[in-house]
Amino acid sequence: MQSELTPTVPVSVKTASREKRAWRKLFRSRTAVIGLVLILSWVVLAVLAPLLPLPSPTAQDAMAMADPTPSATHLLGTDILGRDLLSRLIFGARTVLLVAPLSVAVAMAVGIALGMLAGYYGGWIEVLVSRFSDLVLAFPVLIIYVILIANVGASVFNIILATTIASAPGIGRITRALVLDLKQQEYVAAARLRAEGTLYIMVCEILPNCRGPLLVDACLRVGYTTITIGILGFLGLGLPPPNPDWGGMVREATTVINVWPLMSLAPSIAIISLVLGFNLLADGMREAWKP
């Protein structure tokens, strides 16, 4: 009798409570906090870059070309063209922190849309999306980037386009697998009984319950995209000079790496620290949203 009188907790309340517990667990995770600190450190430097007392990242110091070692004017020294290394690192972070998350956001939007349609409707839509995914995923990701950017040119738009084409199929597969399971849940059946529209069910009922795995995947992909942007810059397919580009900075330093290793070591450490931050944050998210 007591169990019959116990009030039933609505599904929305349970979901909200579960989300709060996940966020609390995330910010209590040492791994996630370290990753967040690494990311926010670069974000703060990138935002404050125009206000910092640094030389222009494109200004050349003819006197420093002969002696690129650190000095009061150039705290990390200069590159082979006499440009301040610290300034180029910080301004280069602005490029990475704009292009990488924006590229992943567009790829996530396209991939989630494809995966939702394939998982919810099935049939010929699922077959079409699956075949397209198989076709794209059959090629190594870096090859796709190189082919696209080498043919259409290096720019922020083209990097976003290449990231979307290379990443959306994988995101679509993850979303499809989640939707195939979630569309069988009782709350989806209840929404159908309330005569809710298909778009409402997919966006308001199913998609919020895919949030955890998709957030983890997005965080990891931002790190992978950061590495890819660095590789493209190293191959000469990054943003055109004189824009500061971490990968391009490493490439420019290869001729003097034995004489002045800091010139390539500094941008390499910058890439590693930012990618490590996103990977640690993703690990913390995975633990927080673990079922």
77-288: which CATH architecture?
Answer: Orthogonal Bundle (1.10)
User: What was the pLDDT predicted at 68?
Assistant: 73
The average pLDDT across 139-148 equals 82
pLDDT digits (tens, 9 = 90+) for 24-56: 888 888 898 999 999 999 999 999 988 888 888
List Cβ<8 Å contacts ≥24 apart for 219-222.
219/278, 219/279, 219/281, 219/282, 219/285, 220/278, 220/279, 220/282, 221/104, 221/107, 221/108, 221/167, 221/171, 222/100, 222/101, 222/104, 222/278
**Nearest residue to 218 (alpha-carbon basis) of 105, 111, 137:** 105
The average pLDDT across 179-202 equals 85
pTM, rounded to two decimals: 0.85
- Would you say residue 2 has pLDDT above 60? no
User: What was the pLDDT predicted at 16?
Assistant: 59
pLDDT digits (tens, 9 = 90+) for 200-237: 888 888 888 888 889 999 999 999 999 988 888 888 88
Check residues 64 and 61 and name the one with the higher pLDDT: 61
